[in-house]
Structure formats: C-alpha cells, structure tokens
Structure 1
Amino acid sequence: MQVAIKKLFLVMPFLFGIGFIAPLIAQLMAVWGWQAPFGLERIVFGLLIGGAWGLYATIRGRWI
C-alpha cells in the first residue's frame, strides 16, 4: 500500500492540473465570455493548459 501511495503522490501535480486547473480555466473563460482559440471547447483548452502545467510541475518538481 505504501508503494501505491508513493506512486500516486509522484503524479499528483499532473492530476491536480487536469482535475482542478483545467475546469477552473474553463469556468473562468465562461464567466468572462471568452472563447477558446482554434475552435476548441473551453474544457479542451483548459485540459491542454492544465495538463501541460501539471506535467511540467511533475517533471520539475515545482509549479513555477
């Protein structure tokens, strides 16, 4: 069980990026009336940004 928890925490920044940041971006775009570029849906655009940012945080070990 300890090994499973350690593996989960290794990818936690990525999961946070797609599970929290992506919907937050999509909701903020909806509130502000912005459209996603390239004809994408807002949530798809949020997933691209949140997933990329979470992957970056997972690889580098920090968000900034």
Structure 2
Amino acid sequence: MILEKALKAVVWMLPLIFAFAFLAPVIDQGMKTLGLSAPYGLSTLTIGLVVAGAWGVFAQISGRWI
C-alpha cells in the first residue's frame, strides 16, 4: 500500500524529474558549446534549470510537452 502510493507519486512527478535530470544539463551544455552566455551574470546551469523547470511544470500541468 505504501509502496504503491510512493510509486504513484514518482510517476506523477516524472515530467519534473525528466526536466531537471535530463533537460537542464542538456541546455547547460548546449549553451556552453554554442558559446552563449547567460544574462544577468547567471551561470548557464541556472538558466538551464529555470527553462527546464518551467517546461517541466508546463508538461506536468497540461499533460504534454508541446
């Protein structure tokens, strides 16, 4: 019963887990490879986390990535 609830919680959080564990580092490395700098003196990882987090929240709420 407890394991089932925990598994349902993890499955419900999958869009955010994917966004923070995969998309944020990809955005960070992509920006570094292209030589793009982050605005306001932030690091590229911070920008990656913000963009991926927003996209993950959108996917969580709407149920789709696009």
Superposition TM-score, scaled by structure 2 size = 0.91
Q: Deviations over 1:10-61 (max 9, x none)?
A: 0110111111101100000111111012211000000000001001101111
Q: Which runs of 4+ in 1 moved over 3 A?
A: none
- Quote the RMSD (CA, aligned, Å): 0.7
Aligned pairs, number: 64
> Match of 1:48?
50
Residue identity opposite 2:38 in structure 1: A
Q: Return the index of the structure with the highest Cα Rg.
A: 2
Superposition TM-score, scaled by structure 1 size = 0.94
- The 5-angstrom pairing of residues 30-41 of structure 1 reads 30-41=32-43
> Match of 1:18?
20
**Identity across aligned pairs (percent)?**
42
